[in-house]
């Protein structure tokens, strides 16, 4: 699929969709199942390309993983059961796969090499390779270990006390996974709280991890035991339909099974601050990852300011929040979000450039963007630039644009939401 013509100005989106499994939790469930002892069963696994890359890497490390209808069964032999791969480990487009995997491989006494696609080739790896090298792993790669292809020879690790220079759940998780293999106690200090799926997952697999005032403490040498994991829906995928429901006139969408982990719910706060008619209609907070059902209805929206500790709690939602802001009255300012520059694309530039092509009033800043609404968007030719979340944002933008929108590279959407277009279509019937 090289390009598609998208629905133009729609009157309403009505119906109910069940949000597919969370990408971050799906990755981690396979990783922990692969390093635990015994059987792990995962339900509602996300069959997106990124998570399939994680499965493929662990198979190459000798783990037996069976997949059937979004259910996964893993027979784990413990972290010591991982075997030296005879082939390169290809992470595709997935930053989570490569960074977390490096944390695991850092403590394994063998050689591995890691590659990914052209987007992965531009993403900074020193933030992980630097502290892992300090712990004792031998890592090399392009530009002195800064970019893929990377090679890693793991072995005995020293614990570390490390203050993260940027708020990143991927870096934190890589260091936790290495810390689980180090001799002694590893401490990681976060500048702002980031998604805590790794911490929750460790407890689910019978391990111990402590967190107090942004300081995470983990002891090496713990034995993890296989578990049953039910993956809740991905709030980052739900976000596209939350925004669509808020901005397409006359809409009412029920979103079932949305993950409501408080480290991920920044989008809900922003929608409410902007005046959206959003309700949580059921909430299961007692499970290891909270989830619930949401309903969103069209409403009048106003601009807002998004900054500080809120940024890591909605970092992946900023492209769709930018579109939301084009449909709100007044100015929306997004700041403290420099990290957007090192996502699947430079998301400050891609969001601003693509939305401008549809007539939005939006300007890039050094650490975010400023949007002036409300704009009447028009048709045009836009591109995902190979970035799944940019592709979905532009598909939703088409619903409020006058004139046809041609989206180039829509196939990137399969990275995190393979049935996105089916879900969208089901709401228009
Ligand atoms: C993720 C962490 C975030 C996020 C990414 C998934 C994770 O990245 O943007 O989509 O699963 O840990 P950073 O750690 O780079 O902030």
- Positive/negative CA dihedral, 198, 199, 204, 205: positive
For 108-162, the DSSP string reads SSSEEEEE--TTGGGS--HHHHHHHHHHT-EEEEHHHHTEEEEEEE-------EE
Q: Let me know whether 114 and 247 are in one domain.
A: no
8 A C-beta contact, residue 379 and residue 9 = no
Q: Which atom of ligand 1 is nearest to the CA of 315?
A: 9
8 A C-beta contact, residue 348 and residue 369 = yes
Q: CB neighbours (10 Å) of residue 158?
A: 13
Ligand 1 centroid to residue 247 C-alpha, Å: 27
Reported as half-sphere exposure (CB side, CA atoms, 13 A), residue 284 has a value of: 14
Pocket lining: 169 vs ligand 1, CB cutoff 6 Å: yes
Pocket lining: 97 vs ligand 1, CB cutoff 6 Å: no
From 211, 230, 249, give the residue that closes a domain: 230
From first CA to last CA, the distance across the chain in angstroms is 23
- The residue assigned the tokens 């699929």 is 1
Ligand 1 centroid to residue 298 C-alpha, Å: 30
From 185, 206, 230, give the residue that closes a domain: 230
Q: Let me know whether 129 and 267 are in one domain.
A: no
Q: Let me know whether 130 and 107 are in one domain.
A: yes
Q: Let me know whether 140 and 241 are in one domain.
A: no
Q: Which atom of ligand 1 is nearest to the CA of 316?
A: 9
- Positive/negative CA dihedral, 312, 318, 320, 324: positive
Q: Let me know whether 281 and 270 are in one domain.
A: yes
Could you report the per-residue pLDDT of 18-50, keeping only the tens digit for each?
999 999 999 999 999 999 999 999 999 999 999
Pocket lining: 91 vs ligand 1, CB cutoff 6 Å: no
pLDDT at 286: 72
Q: Which atom of ligand 1 is nearest to the CA of 24?
A: 11
From 230, 262, 288, give the residue that closes a domain: 230
Protein residue with least CA distance to atom 4, ligand 1: 316
Q: Let me know whether 269 and 139 are in one domain.
A: no
Report whether pLDDT(4) > 90: no
Q: Let me know whether 273 and 332 are in one domain.
A: yes
pLDDT at 208: 98
Reported as half-sphere exposure (CB side, CA atoms, 13 A), residue 357 has a value of: 18
Active-site entry in 234, 316, 349, 366: 316
Domain residue limits at 83: 23-230
Could you report the per-residue pLDDT of 255-266, keeping only the tens digit for each?
999 999 999 999
Question: Distance (Å, rounded) from C-alpha 301 to C-alpha 244?
Answer: 13
Could you report the per-residue pLDDT of 353-402, keeping only the tens digit for each?
999 999 999 999 999 999 999 999 999 999 999 999 999 999 999 999 99
Q: Let me know whether 16 and 55 are in one domain.
A: no
Q: Let me know whether 330 and 414 are in one domain.
A: yes
Nearest to 314 by CA among 246, 365, 243, 420: 243
How many domains in the chain? 2
Tell me the chain's radius of gyration from C-alpha atoms: 21
Ligand 1 centroid to residue 378 C-alpha, Å: 32
Respond yes or no: is residue 316 known to be catalytic. yes
Q: Let me know whether 215 and 316 are in one domain.
A: no
pLDDT at 8: 66
Question: Distance (Å, rounded) from C-alpha 238 to C-alpha 22?
Answer: 10
8 A C-beta contact, residue 216 and residue 199 = yes
For 198, residues 6+ apart whose C-beta sits below 8 A from its C-beta are: 28, 100, 169, 172, 173, 176, 177
For 159, residues 6+ apart whose C-beta sits below 8 A from its C-beta are: 135, 179, 182, 183, 184, 185, 186, 187, 220
Q: Let me know whether 211 and 81 are in one domain.
A: yes
Q: Let me know whether 264 and 290 are in one domain.
A: yes
Could you report the per-residue pLDDT of 150-190, keeping only the tens digit for each?
999 999 999 999 999 999 999 999 999 999 999 999 999 99
123: domain CATH number? 3.65.10.10
pLDDT at 1: 53
Q: Do the strands 330-334 and 305-306 form a parallel or antiparallel pair, or are they unpaired?
A: parallel
221: buried, middle or exposed (CB in 10 Å: 19+, 13-18, 0-12)?
Answer: exposed
Pocket lining: 316 vs ligand 1, CB cutoff 6 Å: yes
Q: What is the average pLDDT score of the chain? A: 96
Degrees to nearest 5, angle at CA 412 with 384 and 252: 80
């Amino acid at each position: 699929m090289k390009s598609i013509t998208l629905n133009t100005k729609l009157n309403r989106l009505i119906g109910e969709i069940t949000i597919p499994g969370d990408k971050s939790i799906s990755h981690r469930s396979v990783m922990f199942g692969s390093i635990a002892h015994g059987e792990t069963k995962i339900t509602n696994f996300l069959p997106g390309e990124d998570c399939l890359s994680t499965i493929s890497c662990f198979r190459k490390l000798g783990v037996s993983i069976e997949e059937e209808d979004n259910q996964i069964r893993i027979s784990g032999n413990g972290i010591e059961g991982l075997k030296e791969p005879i082939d390169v480990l290809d992470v595709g487009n997935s930053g989570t796969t490569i960074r977390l995997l490096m944390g695991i491989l850092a403590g394994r006494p063998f050689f591995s090499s890691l590659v990914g696609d052209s987007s992965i080739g531009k993403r900074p790896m020193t933030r992980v390779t630097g502290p892992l090298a300090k712990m004792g792993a031998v890592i090399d790669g392009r530009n002195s270990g800064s970019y893929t292809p990377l090679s890693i020879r793991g072995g005995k690790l020293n614990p570390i006390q490390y203050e993260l220079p940027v708020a990143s759940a991927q870096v934190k998780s890589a260091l936790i996974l290495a810390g689980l293999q180090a001799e002694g106690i590893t401490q990681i200090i976060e500048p702002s709280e980031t998604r805590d799926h790794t911490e929750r997952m460790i407890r689910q697999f019978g391990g111990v991890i402590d967190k107090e005032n942004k300081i995470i403490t983990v002891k090496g040498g713990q034995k993890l035991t296989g578990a049953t994991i039910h993956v809740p829906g991905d709030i980052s995928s739900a976000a596209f339909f939350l925004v669509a429901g808020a901005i397409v006139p006359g809409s009412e969408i029920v979103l079932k099974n949305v993950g409501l982990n408080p480290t991920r719910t920044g989008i809900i706060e922003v929608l409410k601050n902007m005046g959206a008619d959003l309700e949580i209609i059921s909430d299961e907070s007692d499970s290891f990852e909270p989830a619930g059902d949401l309903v969103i209805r069209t409403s009048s929206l106003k601009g807002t300011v998004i900054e500080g500790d809120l940024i890591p709690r909605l970092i992946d939602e900023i492209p769709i929040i930018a579109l939301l802001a084009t449909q709100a009255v007044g100015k929306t300012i997004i700041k403290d979000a420099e990290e957007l520059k090192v996502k699947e694309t430079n998301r400050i530039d891609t969001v601003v450039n693509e939305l401008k092509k549809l007539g939005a009033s939006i300007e890039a800043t050094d650490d975010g963007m400023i949007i002036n609404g409300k704009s009447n968007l028009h048709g045009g030719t836009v591109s995902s630039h190979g970035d799944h979340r940019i592709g979905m944002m532009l598909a939703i933008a088409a619903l409020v644009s006058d004139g046809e929108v041609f989206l180039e590279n829509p196939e990137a959407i399969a990275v995190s939401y393979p049935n996105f277009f089916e879900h969208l279509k089901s709401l228009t019937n």
